[in-house]
Amino acid sequence: MEFECARDILDTVPMVMQVMRTTMRSAAKEQLTVPQFRVLVKLGKGCCSNTELAEWIGNSEAAMSRMVDGLVKKGLVTRDAESRDRRQVKLSLTPKGRSEYTKIREKGAQELSHHLDALSPREKNELKQGLALLRKVFL
The domain limits of the chain are 2-138
Answer whether 38's CB lies under 8 Å from 71's CB: no
**CATH architecture assignment, domain 2-138:** Orthogonal Bundle (1.10)
Answer whether 28's CB lies under 8 Å from 105's CB: no
pLDDT tens sequence for the chain (139 residues): 889 999 999 999 999 989 888 888 888 877 788 889 889 999 999 999 999 999 999 999 999 999 999 999 999 999 986 656 655 689 999 999 999 999 888 988 998 899 999 999 999 999 999 999 999 998 8
* Cα distances (angstroms) measured from residue 64 to each of 49, 58, 74, 106, 118: 10, 9, 15, 25, 39
User: What is the model's pTM?
Assistant: 0.76
